[in-house]
């Protein structure tokens, strides 16, 4: 299976402190109807750090069921504990996920050899396509291009979500191996596509799935001016959606659109009023119709 195009890093809606299963299923169906090419539940945007193991597994189950094989589901199953990552990845396969998104181990800051052995152990333990997730800003360490190339020789390690914000890093990876590179930064999706990336795992596509899908489709159709036009239209909204730590702004945006409640779990909390004003203005400037400002 190829993993390409516009894939959405789904939010996890909460209601009264619990996962809002009904809304999550509805969001999945909306994504598919709007042209999204893949779904990524239980990642950073899905607030995986504050999901219990039972909730984490249930979120994956709901998305797999709601997607109904219409698009691939790439379940977030990473951990800083190799055994825990293996356990979550095994569950994802059992639940019917098409692939796993496995973040680099956070906080314990392994060496490159440790990172290699971590991902190699997961790939050996679970026969499922694995997409690496390199996000040093959250993890405190980073995969080097050489380690990515080494990991790419393991048959079921098929891709990497690049969230370093470093174009040289992506260029170096692409020059060393044929692994599928996916953008992990919405504002850099178009430049990364130009370098040879195959798509994006997007936050902004929670809000405007059709636009992100269209931008990627136009690029691959060779309509570069149109792709660039969409990029520049999305850019102010993208900046507003990262004005505070993800997923705080995107959950607020979804609430403002009436698509989901904006409930967060501590230690994440509501936006500063001045930042919310900027988000609201960016949404209005884009042309989105807000249904309410209530929390």
Taking only the tens place, the pLDDT of each residue in 218-264 is 999 999 999 999 999 999 999 999 999 999 999 999 999 999 999 99
Note the pLDDT tens digit of each residue in 25-56. 999 999 999 999 999 999 999 999 999 999 99
Residue owning tokens 């402190």: 17
* Spatial separation of the C-alpha atoms in residues 177 and 159, rounded to whole Å: 11
Residue owning tokens 């639940």: 95
**pLDDT of 292:** 62
Note the pLDDT tens digit of each residue in 75-89. 999 999 999 999 999
Q: Is the pLDDT of residue 295 over 50?
A: no
Four-CA torsion 16, 73, 123, 153, nearest 10 degrees:
-140
**pLDDT of 293:** 56
Residue 288 per-residue DSSP state: P
**Residues labelled catalytic:** 133, 161
**pLDDT of 178:** 96
Q: pTM of this prediction?
A: 0.95
Instruction: Name the pLDDT band for 291 (thresholds 50, 70, 90).
Output: confident
Q: Is the pLDDT of residue 98 over 80?
A: yes
**pLDDT of 80:** 94
* Spatial separation of the C-alpha atoms in residues 30 and 27, rounded to whole Å: 5
Q: Which residues lie across from 183 on neighbouring strands?
A: 162, 200
Note the pLDDT tens digit of each residue in 157-177. 999 999 999 999 999 999 999
Q: Which residues lie across from 182 on neighbouring strands?
A: 161, 199
- 18: CB partners within 8 A, 6+ apart: none
- 87: CB partners within 8 A, 6+ apart: none
Q: Are the C-beta atoms of residues 264 and 47 closer than 8 Å to each other?
A: yes
Q: Is the pLDDT of residue 294 over 50?
A: no
Note the pLDDT tens digit of each residue in 120-146. 999 999 999 999 999 999 899 999 999
Residue 70 per-residue DSSP state: S
**pLDDT of 246:** 97
φ, ψ (nearest 5 deg) of residue 165: 70, 15
Q: Are the C-beta atoms of residues 174 and 151 closer than 8 Å to each other?
A: no
Residues present in the chain in total = 295
- The CA radius of gyration of the chain, in Å to the nearest whole number, is 18
Residue 44 CB-density burial (10 A; 0-12 exposed, 13-18 middle, 19+ buried)? buried
Cis ω for the linkage preceding 253 (within 30 of 0): no
Nearest in space to 251 (alpha carbons), one of 269, 239, 236, 266: 269
Domain regions of the chain by residue span = 5-210
Four-CA torsion 135, 20, 32, 269, nearest 10 degrees:
-40
Instruction: Name the pLDDT band for 1 (thresholds 50, 70, 90).
Output: confident
For 31-150, strand residue ranges (E) read 38-40, 74-76, 99-103, 130-134
Return left, alpha or beta for 249; rule: phi > 0 is left, psi -120 to 50 is alpha, else beta.
alpha
Q: Which fold has domain 5-210?
A: TIM Barrel (3.20.20)
Residue 197 per-residue DSSP state: -
Instruction: Name the pLDDT band for 90 (thresholds 50, 70, 90).
Output: very high
CB atoms within 10 A of CB 164: 18
Q: Are the C-beta atoms of residues 169 and 185 closer than 8 Å to each other?
A: no
């Amino acid at each position: 299976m190829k993993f390409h195009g516009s894939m959405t890093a789904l939010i996890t809606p909460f209601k009264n402190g619990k996962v809002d299963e009904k809304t999550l299923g509805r969001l999945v169906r909306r994504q598919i109807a709007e042209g999204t090419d893949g779904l990524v539940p239980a990642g950073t945007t899905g607030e995986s750090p504050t999901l219990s193991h039972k909730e984490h597994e249930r979120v994956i189950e709901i998305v797999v069921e709601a997607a109904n094989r219409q698009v691939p589901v790439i379940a977030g199953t990473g951990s800083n504990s190799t055994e825990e990552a293996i356990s979550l990845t095994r569950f994802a396969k059992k639940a019917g996920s098409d692939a796993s998104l496995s973040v680099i181990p956070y906080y314990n800051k392994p060496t490159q050899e440790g990172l290699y052995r971590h991902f190699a152990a997961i790939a050996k333990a679970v026969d499922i396509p694995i997409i690496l997730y390199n996000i040093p800003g959250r993890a405190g360490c980073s995969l080097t291009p050489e380690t990515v190339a080494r990991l790419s020789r393991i048959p079921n390690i098929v891709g990497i979500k690049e969230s370093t914000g470093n174009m040289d890093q992506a260029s170096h990876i692409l020059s060393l191996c044929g692994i599928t590179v996916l953008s992990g930064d919405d504002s850099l999706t178009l430049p990364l596509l130009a370098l040879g990336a195959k798509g994006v795992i997007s936050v902004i596509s929670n809000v405007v799935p059709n636009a992100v899908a269209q931008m990627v489709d136009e690029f691959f159709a060779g309509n570069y001016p149109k792709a660039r036009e969409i990029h520049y239209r999305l850019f102010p909204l993208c900046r507003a959606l990262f004005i505070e730590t993800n997923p705080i702004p995107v959950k607020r945006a979804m609430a403002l659109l009436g698509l989901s409640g904006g409930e967060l779990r501590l230690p994440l909390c509501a936006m500063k009023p001045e930042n919310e004003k900027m988000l609201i203005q960016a949404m209005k400037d884009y042309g989105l119709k807000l249904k309410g400002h209530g929390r």
